Amino acid sequence: MNVTDTDERPLIVQSDHSLLLEVHHRAFEAARGDIAPFTELEKSPEHIHTYRMTPLSLWNAASAGLDAASILAFLDARSRYPVPDNVRFFVTDTLSRWGMFTLEAGESPDFLVLGIRDPLLRREIQAQRKLAAFLVPHGETFLVPLLHRGTLKKEMLTLGYPVQDLAPLKAGDPLEVSLRSQTLGGDTMLVRGYQLEAAAGLLGRGQPGTGFGTIVMPCGSGKTIVGLEILSRLQTNTLILTTNVAAVHQWIDELLDKTSLTAEEIGEYTGDKKVIRPVTVATYQVLVWREDREAEFPHFRLFRERNWGLIIYDEVHLLPAPVFRVTAELQALRRVGLTATLVREDGAEGDVFSLVGPKRFDVPWKELEAKGWIATAVCTEIRLDLPEHQRIPYAVAAKREKFRIASENPLKEEVVKQLIDNHREDAILVIGQYIDQLERLSHILKAPLITGSTPNSQREVLYQQFRSGAVRVLVVSKVANFAINLPDASMAIQVSGSFGSRQEEAQRLGRILRPKERNAYFYTLVSRATNEEEFSAHRQKFLTEQGYKYSIEVW
């Protein structure tokens, strides 16, 4: 291998389907761009980033138009050593399954046609009892009732066969809407380059197989703007689903501030109001409410109240499982899932792929940080001992109770006070899992507390006071994990968390990453020599995966 070759080969492809990418190599940026479409980033510490090829990552690539020859050409061009034969087989074999099954329009408007490339596969599919309810034999192929369009794709994926959905999408009722050149606040309205790329990645040129999918972008990078850009391009009635009432109101504020829509064209569908307009914003919670576990979901009718042309799933990684059932009925609509991380604690990433759509765009957190689009974060874990009187109760407790004792370590209260005193210029969120602990901190700090029981009207008053600077410290439960826009927050102190949730770590870090002139500080308090250390290490895996360094200090 000559010097020129080595200069362009920063990648090591391993037989377990992982790819090691040397960060300091001159061709790092080019190689990362080459492999990003068909791999998943597993971890990105300082010197070596680890990516992995999975069936899902390869099918995501196939949906974007990449084939096995292109992917192997990228690997050959960038790999320092020969690509292992079993990896070549894995790529070729996995991608050969893409397009074996297609869904296309048929003669009847009530059915789609399941196209099958290989007659032998037809017999295999016919023998699958799980699929019998979704398929109607029809000559050499099958008809699929429209109702089962999404469910069939989900079940086929579990069998290792992705379905390429080429059936047409409904346009929905038209709606005249455009982005403002200047917001109501007087700011110049600028859609950033990566936001335009994300919208284009979803919509393509309108060809079959586009118009639906998932966009992955860091918290604070403007996922809402991407949703508004897609809405303005499609010009259609739109349903927006998000996590809570505060997020509903933020979407409505953004729609009024940044688009030509009027208040009369925007509806709110929550526990407080049920107004349906050409653009309607609803919570997941109201959709999945029902009187008891055996009852129907009465608010699912919202999906049929208007001729929607677009559905936006905000924080799609939190999409409640019951909504997947309705998503299966809504496969004929253009749809986009917005998220900072596709990690689902229930392992249902494949469901998002099948029912919302494949990943169409992804941008690394550190890349946007380097360009100044999100704040630079300084991450620190502070470890402190349990007090003497709690050590024996901790030693004899069950595992779950051990975690709670460690999480509610009363010595954390002194650490929180000291950190706040040390950061007098910062707007600070104190975030935790246990209400008793948060109530004590609220009292000690003389700071307002927001929990799930805080009325929505009171929450919004407190959020506004925090934004304006009237309140500098806010104590919040896990309700602040999701879709809360607090652009001036520059520091978070995490006193307790949901066991080992990487998803939660992503959301909490995202609360302080809105672009600002100062660094953002993310502190996590952990009791030493307890199982909280173990869970914290799993949560913080997310930070290292995204390229963040964190230091550990003993208090």
Give the count of domains, the chain.
4
Based on the fold, state whether residues 347 and 305 are members of the same structural domain.
yes
* Angle (deg, nearest 10), helices 68-78 and 28-35: 160
| Of 44, 74, 96, the domain-final residue | 96
Residue 66 has pLDDT above 70, yes or no: yes
What was the pLDDT predicted at 12?
Answer: 97
pLDDT in tens, 14-63: 999 999 999 899 999 889 889 988 998 787 777 898 999 999 999 989 98
Based on the fold, state whether residues 241 and 206 are members of the same structural domain.
yes
Residue 500 has pLDDT above 70, yes or no: no
| Of 331, 348, 363, the domain-final residue | 363
User: What DSSP state is assigned to residue 301?
Assistant: G
* Phi, psi dihedrals of residue 87, rounded to the nearest 5°: -70, -40
Residue 515 has pLDDT above 70, yes or no: no
Residue 86 has pLDDT above 80, yes or no: yes
Gap between the Cα atoms of 115 and 118, Å rounded: 9
Q: Does the residue 92 lie in any domain? A: yes
Residue 3 has pLDDT above 60, yes or no: no
Confidence of residue 545 (pLDDT cuts 50, 70, 90): low
What was the pLDDT predicted at 539?
Answer: 67
Report pTM. 0.80
Based on the fold, state whether residues 399 and 532 are members of the same structural domain.
yes
> 278 to each of 158, 170, 176, 180, how far by Cα in Å?
36, 16, 10, 18
Based on the fold, state whether residues 378 and 358 are members of the same structural domain.
no
Gap between the Cα atoms of 134 and 125, Å rounded: 11
Contacts for 8 with CB less than 8 Å, ≥ 6 apart:
27, 30, 77, 78
Residue 4 has pLDDT above 50, yes or no: no
Based on the fold, state whether residues 349 and 488 are members of the same structural domain.
no
pLDDT in tens, 406-430: 999 999 999 999 999 999 999 999 9
Based on the fold, state whether residues 333 and 200 are members of the same structural domain.
yes
Q: Does the residue 170 lie in any domain? A: no
What was the pLDDT predicted at 437?
Answer: 96
Q: Does the residue 173 lie in any domain? A: no
What was the pLDDT predicted at 487?
Answer: 66
pLDDT in tens, 87-111: 999 999 999 999 999 999 988 888 9
Confidence of residue 402 (pLDDT cuts 50, 70, 90): very high
pLDDT, greater one: 276 or 370: 276
Q: Give the mean pLDDT of 453-466.
A: 88
Residue 512 has pLDDT above 80, yes or no: no
Is residue 316 within 8 Å of residue 337, measured between CB atoms? Answer: yes
Range with lowest mean pLDDT among 229-243, 310-324, 325-339? 325-339
Q: Give the mean pLDDT of 250-255.
A: 94
Residue 1 has pLDDT above 60, yes or no: no
Residue 345 has pLDDT above 60, yes or no: no
Share of the chain above pLDDT 90, in %: 49
User: What DSSP state is assigned to residue 406?
Assistant: H
What was the pLDDT predicted at 346?
Answer: 61
CA atoms within 13 A on the CB side of 515: 9
Based on the fold, state whether residues 331 and 463 are members of the same structural domain.
no
What was the pLDDT predicted at 2?
Answer: 40
pLDDT in tens, 212-244: 999 988 877 889 999 999 999 999 999 999 988
Residue 278 has pLDDT above 70, yes or no: yes
pLDDT, greater one: 493 or 501: 493
Residue 66 tokens, joined: 């990449």
CA atoms within 13 A on the CB side of 212: 27
Residue 506 has pLDDT above 70, yes or no: no
- For the chain, the distance separating the N- and C-terminal CA atoms, rounded to the nearest angstrom, is 52
Q: What CATH number has the domain bearing residue 274?
A: 3.40.50.300
Based on the fold, state whether residues 415 and 454 are members of the same structural domain.
yes
Q: Give the mean pLDDT of 128-148.
A: 87
Residue 476 tokens, joined: 């919040």
DSSP helix/strand/coil, 136: strand
Q: Give the mean pLDDT of 472-477.
A: 94
Based on the fold, state whether residues 243 and 217 are members of the same structural domain.
yes
Q: Which long-range contacts (CB under 8 A, 24 or more apart) does 293-299 make?
A: 297/322, 297/326, 299/269
Q: Does the residue 511 lie in any domain? A: yes
Domain hosting 297: range is 193-363
| Of 50, 81, 96, the domain-final residue | 96
Q: Does the residue 416 lie in any domain? A: yes
Based on the fold, state whether residues 454 and 417 are members of the same structural domain.
yes
Q: Does the residue 321 lie in any domain? A: yes
pLDDT in tens, 171-219: 899 999 999 998 887 788 889 999 999 999 999 888 878 899 999 888 7
Q: Does the residue 179 lie in any domain? A: no
Based on the fold, state whether residues 218 and 339 are members of the same structural domain.
yes
Place of tokens 């770590």: 505
Based on the fold, state whether residues 67 and 210 are members of the same structural domain.
no
Closest CA to 135 of 118, 148, 120: 148
What was the pLDDT predicted at 13?
Answer: 98
What was the pLDDT predicted at 168?
Answer: 87
Closest CA to 353 of 41, 44, 64, 50: 64
One-letter identity of residue 234:
L
DSSP for 422-485, written as a single string = H-TTS-EEEE-S-HHHHHHHHHHHT--EE-TTS-HHHHHHHHHHHHHTS--EEEE-GGGGSS--
Range with lowest mean pLDDT among 62-66, 334-338, 469-473, 483-487? 483-487
Q: Does the residue 185 lie in any domain? A: no
Confidence of residue 7 (pLDDT cuts 50, 70, 90): confident
What was the pLDDT predicted at 45?
Answer: 74
> Across the chain, what does the average pLDDT equal?
87
What was the pLDDT predicted at 329?
Answer: 57
What was the pLDDT predicted at 505?
Answer: 66
Residue 347 has pLDDT above 70, yes or no: no
